[in-house]
Chain A
Amino acid sequence: MALWGMVIDLDRCTGCQACVMACKAENNVPAVGEKEAKKGRTISWMQVLTETDEEHHEEKMRFIPRPCLQCDDPPCTKVCPVYATYRDPEGIVAQIYGRCIGCRFCMAACPYNAKYFNWYTYQKEQPGQNPDVSLRPNGVVEKCTFCHHRLQKAREQAHAEHREIQPGEYNTACADACPAQAIVFGDLSDPGSEVSKLARSPRAFKLQEELGTKPKVIYLTEGEGGG
């Protein structure tokens, strides 16, 4: 049974946000428009946060690409009243748009603010969308799914060819797009995979690790980690 995870090397990240754009294109993340963006309602499954050092404002700045951290002990799934979000056996925290009642409890519970809400009907069917990803209706929560549709396609392909999924066959859009190769995605339960090896690096740290969420997106940085 695979355990999908991701390693993001903050020392390689240039803050170019190619991952953000790739994710939006891949997952039909709606452009909410200027008015809505001004009100703070931009939906960005992958979001690049900028962290400045408190003492040396202009000198040290760090970019932190933050997808959904797909926690192994997710605080969001605990509080959902209707099974609209849950952690599947391969470690991906799923979001079921058809079940969600829009109570936004999971949004309030997520310590990483990785969940976003459709405050209006932001998406209508139009040409240029990814047909593999469903459009989200008004009033439901959405978030990064580790491009789960790509996993389904890869699995179906492998099943049709009577074999297992090979490493590299299933990769997230953000990992594909990063020009600095800062994002590495793969199976954490396979000790030989690139993502597992990087996760064991001495530079590795987890965001808000002390909260006990057990996130599966691991960051690498030289020097002081922790965020």
Chain B
Amino acid sequence: MVDHKDAHEDILLAPIAHTGPGFYWTVAGLSVFILWGAIAYLVQFYYGLGVTGLMQPVSWGFYVTNFVFFIGISHAGTLISAILRLSRAEWRRPITRMAEVITAMVLFIGAGQILVDLGRPDRILNVILHGRYQSPLLWDATSISAYLTASLTYLYLPMIPDIAILRDRLGKWKLFYSVLALGWTGTEAQQRVLNRAIAIMCVIVIPVAISVHSVVSFVFSMTLQPMWHSTIFGPYFVVGAIFSGIAALIVAMIIFRKTYGLEPYLKPVHFRYLGQLLLVMSLLWFYFTFAEYLTGYYGAEPEEMKVFWAKFSGPFWPYFWAMVLCNLFIPLACLVRLGRHTVGKVLAASLAIIVGMWLERFIIVIPTLSFPRLPFPHTVYTPTWVEMGEFAGSLALFALFYLLFTKVFPIISIWEIREGREEGVKEVEERIKSYLPDEIKGTA
């Protein structure tokens, strides 16, 4: 009679224990795009940024858009995982690891976008040796290094008991897992240490995460440019980041649910809750966007209005309205009623949102640069194959990192699922009982 525990573990350990042809085909496919990106960057490194479509005055384009986009997606993991842990939402258990891995992997890609954007990447050490804290780029460097360290820690600590399972059960890479497992044997004392550490990390990680996208927004809002110099940027970017992060998380969940057969763990109820969260974020995003544009429109400052109309009805209108469609209307249509076809609806909404949020970053960066205050001759930014390749390569590299992670560590937290089954049920029952009024004793 197979132990219930072991059967579950088998499913979750299967991707690490066995590798089928599907994996190799996927890696081959991703490698094509990564190669495109690598060639694009080598060409750019050799000749200079002239191989892109950037010019005067649009000196920031795809790369900076991608930077904001990828850093935005990084908010999936930590915020979802930390907030759900702190609020003791039991439905988080199969989701937290997937979310945390997104954050850890995408931060590298996001930070890489800035390196790709530099005219002199060979001088990157200047930022370390001669950095200036008045510059928002240094705020970025500090904040992102803190976030990267914190999220790697926050990914690793809850993984320790699972690494111990791999150490004991898997048979291969024993030294690797043994070193990382830190001698975990599941004793009471060890459990207490780990739980306390995870609780502390939950609290540290949230303000760090919020600071990251705030300082990314400050890169724009600390300048004096029309439609950038706005106080709303900090909260706007954080909301947008959480929004795009949840969408990316859902897409990752659906992909791996299908390919690794994780339907028993990632049930429609999980997608329903995430879908509801996504709907709330969509409305919140729309509220911020509406407030921002209404304020600009009502004030009618001529230079702001030049940029405003460029987005609303001018050269950028397709991107602007596609953004609104993808970020508001499609999510509303899909997510208001999640009773049936939950997974399909949530997938459609998430894909639309990922596209929409990339467009949102594009709509923030390029129109303001395209319409400077002084009367310069008008130019149109057209990205080249180099920028497209870099974008495709970055997405593929992120996917590859994620995929490789799932082949080395379990993508769903085995011990947390077990904890949910063994202790969570009881704990929630006690908690609910504590909310209800106490038993009334007999009157005196």
Contact = CB atoms under 8 A, between A and B. Distances in A.
Interface string A106-130: 0111011100111111000000000
Interface string A60-81: 0000101000000001001111
Q: Among the interface residues B56, B60, B134, B223, which one has the most CB atoms of the partner chain A within 10 A?
A: B56
A58 to B, nearest CB: 16
B57 interface: yes
A192 interface: no
B49 interface: yes
B198 to A, nearest CB: 35
* Number of chain B interface residues as a range: 35 or more
Given A118-B48, A140-B120, A83 B60 contact: no
A117 B57 CA distance: 10
Interface in B101-137: 114, 117-121, 123-124, 126-127, 130-132, 134-137
A75 B223 contact: yes
Given A104-B60, A108-B369, A49 B375 contact: yes
A207 interface: yes
Given A78-B134, A79-B135, A113-B56, A102 B120 contact: yes
Contacts of A111: 224-225, 372-374
B124 A108 contact: no
Contacts of B60: 104, 108
A80 B127 contact: no
Interface stretch (A38-46, A151-159, A197-205): A38-46
Interface string A191-227: 0000000000000000110010100000000000001
A141 B54 CA distance: 14
Contact of B375 (A51, A75, A103, A138): A51
Contact of A108 (B53, B59, B375): B59
A101 B118 contact: yes
Mostly, the A contact residues are loop
B119 A108 contact: no
A54 to B, nearest CB: 9
Contacts of A42: 56
Interface string B218-241: 010011110000000000000000
B84 interface: no
Interface string B51-65: 001111111100000
Contact of A99 (B53, B57, B130, B225): B130
A82 interface: yes
A49 B135 CA distance: 30
Interface in B249-274: none
B115 to A, nearest CB: 10
Contacts of B124: 101
Given A101-B119, A138-B48, A139-B118, A211 B224 contact: yes
A103 B56 contact: no
Given A104-B60, A113-B56, A120 B50 contact: yes
A48 to B, nearest CB: 11
A207 B374 CA distance: 9
B375 A79 contact: no
Interface string A1-43: 0000000000000000000000000000000000010011110
A143 to B, nearest CB: 12
B137 A102 contact: no
Contacts of A138: 48, 119-120
Nearest to A107: B59
Given A49-B376, A81-B135, A117 B59 contact: yes
A100 interface: yes
A81 B215 CA distance: 14
Nearest to A115: B59
B47 interface: yes
Nearest to A79: B135
A195 B444 CA distance: 98
B40 to A, nearest CB: 16
Nearest to A86: B132
B226 to A, nearest CB: 9
B379 A40 contact: yes
A49 B375 CA distance: 6
B119 A118 contact: yes
A51 B126 CA distance: 40
Contact of B47 (A49, A66, A99, A120): A120
A117 B374 contact: no
Contacts of B48: 118-121, 138-139
Contacts of B363: none
A42 to B, nearest CB: 7
A81 B137 CA distance: 6
A64 to B, nearest CB: 8
Nearest to A54: B302
Contacts of B373: 111-112, 208
B372 A119 contact: no
A139 B120 contact: yes
Nearest to A100: B120
B219 A36 contact: no
A95 to B, nearest CB: 13
B402 to A, nearest CB: 28
6 contacts: A40-B379, A99-B130, A101-B119, A108-B59, A111-B374, A140-B119
Interface of A: 36, 39-42, 49-52, 64, 66, 75, 78-84, 99-105, 107-109, 111-113, 116-121, 138-141, 207-208, 211, 213, 227
- A-B pairs, 7 with minimum CB distance: A102-B119, A139-B119, A119-B50, A40-B55, A120-B50, A81-B137, A40-B379
Interface of B: 47-50, 53-60, 114, 117-121, 123-124, 126-127, 130-132, 134-138, 141, 219, 222-225, 369, 372-376, 379
